[in-house]
Amino acid sequence: MPRPIRGYIRGIDAMNRFIGRIAMYGIFVLIGILLWSSFSKTFLTPTLWTLEMAQFVMVAYYILGGPYSIQLGSNVRMDLFYGGWSVRQKAWFDSITVFFLMFYLGVLLYGGLGSLSFSLGYFGMEPLEFFWQLAVAFVTGGTEAAGEVLGFLERSSTAWRPYLWPIKTLLVLGVLLMLLQALAELFRDIGRIREGAR
């Protein structure tokens, strides 16, 4: 396997391992929020933010932990035939099916970028152009110029009404990390196939 591809696999694996191991502790944050919710509903005035915040933490937990799960091979898969196959047969099968995953993640990433741009006040049909303009404005004029590109920031329709761009940013980041990890898995499978051919 060429050195740049090996470096890519090592770099993506290290990054997703680091992020995934931090995201693992999100379960304790989620437990804390839900315990506070139960306590406040029982003994105090119920808080408005707990249910929605618990949903946000859960989304961050699984979307940022997903690439690490793929890396470990602990994702859910149908194991009717797969478990009995050789390493090379598994690599062939995985190298074909990963394209379906990558296509799905690509569509999800594009939709996520559209949703994120909407939450930042862009109501057009070209989210990539909006993010380019936002980046150019930030680089050339700083935060004030970037603030002029932004529109009306989307908020949740609940009583708490948090801004939605932070969680949508995490969703886009998590899908991008998953796409990068899927590409690393494809390279790894191609390496296994080539090793088996020798």
The rounded distance, in Å, linking the Cα atoms of 112 and 170 is: 10
Q: State which residues of the chain have pLDDT below 70.
A: 76, 196-198
pTM of the predicted model as reported, rounded to 2 decimal places: 0.88
Q: Encode pLDDT of 30-58 as tens digits.
A: 999 999 999 998 898 888 899 899 999 99
Q: Which of 172, 54, 61, 195 is nearest to 112 (CA)?
A: 172
The rounded distance, in Å, linking the Cα atoms of 128 and 130 is: 5
Radius of gyration of the chain (CA): 21
Q: Which of 23, 71, 18, 78 is nearest to 183 (CA)?
A: 71
Q: So what's the pLDDT on residue 75? A: 72
**Residues whose CB falls within 8 Å of the CB of residue 178, separated by 6 or more in sequence, listed in order:** 63, 66, 67, 70, 105
Q: Which of 38, 42, 180, 36 is nearest to 102 (CA)?
A: 180
Q: So what's the pLDDT on residue 187? A: 95
The domain segmentation of the chain, as residue ranges, is 3-74+86-197
- Tokens linked to 157: 């329709």
- Tokens linked to 40: 């406040």
Q: So what's the pLDDT on residue 198? A: 56
3-state SS, residue 163: strand
- Tokens linked to 159: 């009583």
Cα 33 → chain centroid: 22
Q: So what's the pLDDT on residue 83? A: 77
Q: So what's the pLDDT on residue 197? A: 57
- Tokens linked to 192: 């296994």
